[in-house]
Structure 1
């Protein structure tokens, strides 16, 4: 599968079950609900060691430094393996563990469609987890990849949003 859609318009957040920033199940989330500024999406799996050693700490740093500057955030568990472990219930656990008051979503392949990965992974052409997507205010994807350096992004966006 080809990865990354940098320069393309962001796809919608479809085929995802969501909880809000307080852990309550909610209706589908739209990108517009994350605000009019930059948006950061974090794709993870509960059992992914790199998601916990790099991804979540990066997300926490980004939220602490950019969350009060109009940057919108959401995290999506993309279940492309380990569906018995990477369950919807794990959303609240990770949300609480890292103190993240942002929407969390759960995306798994839709049964009966012959999907091997969640549709949202296909739409964003993610290559696994941990995976970050940064969307500019004009709706175009400006970053789509595995390793995101929090300090560099805080510096880059800080000048744009501060």
Structure 2
């Protein structure tokens, strides 16, 4: 494991809805398949998530999910807990027609940041983390070039 490509920690997010919008148990990275994975962190009240993040995610999902890339969406509630609620998961899932698991991640008791933000060292929303088939984090940042990612992951 190199410093540039650390092994992806498993998810500690406890509250999830499945692709059907029904509550489900905690999701593990292995639940997303054995290939590459794309994790998208958002907040319901985040304008950038709606203007840039979700449209980018839709492009990635439509191009790459048929090729075996796994997807999960996580609402990282590091502020605005009264607006960024568990119920908003289904609202966003339907609005963007994304049939993937959505998680709701609030800080654990005594912590200031949600588990995903701590484990993946994210700095806000919208945030994309890409994990290769070997389980290494190969991208983790606010903005990505969807066309380039689609091209790169089509070669996998």
Alpha-carbon distance in structure 1 between the residues aligned to 2:130 and 2:138:
6
Counterpart CA distance in 1 for 2:4 and 2:63 is 23
Per the alignment, residue 110 of structure 1 pairs with: 108
Matches within 5 A, 1:79-118: 79-111=77-109, 113=110, 115-118=111-114
Give, in whole Å, the separation in 1 of the partners of 2:108 and 2:27. Answer: 18
Q: How many residues align?
A: 154
Q: Equivalent residue for 1:62? A: 60
Question: Which residue in the other structure is 1:22 paired with?
Answer: 20
For residues 40-70 of structure 1, the C-alpha deviation after alignment (integer angstroms, 9 at most, x for no partner) is 0000000000000010000000000001000
Q: Which runs of 5+ in 1 are unaligned?
A: none
What TM-score, normalized to structure 2?
Answer: 0.96
Residues 4-54 of structure 1: per-residue CA shift (max 9 Å, x gap): x84000011103311000100001101001001000000000000000001
Could you say what secondary structure the match of 2:27 adopts?
coil
8 Å contact 2:13–2:103 — kept in the other structure? Answer: no
Corresponding position of 1:74 = 72
2:20 and 2:36 map into 1 onto residues whose CA distance is 22
Structure 2 partner of 1:122: 118
Deviations 1:118-152 (A, max 9, x none): 12211000010000000000100000000011111
Output the aligned Cα RMSD: 1.0
CA contact (8 A) 1:6 1:140 kept: no
Confirm whether residue 131 of structure 1 aligns to residue 110 of structure 2.
no
Segments of 4+ moved more than 3 angstroms: none
Task: Please report how far the alpha carbon of residue 110 of structure 1 lies from its aligned counterpart in structure 2 after TM superposition.
Answer: 1.7
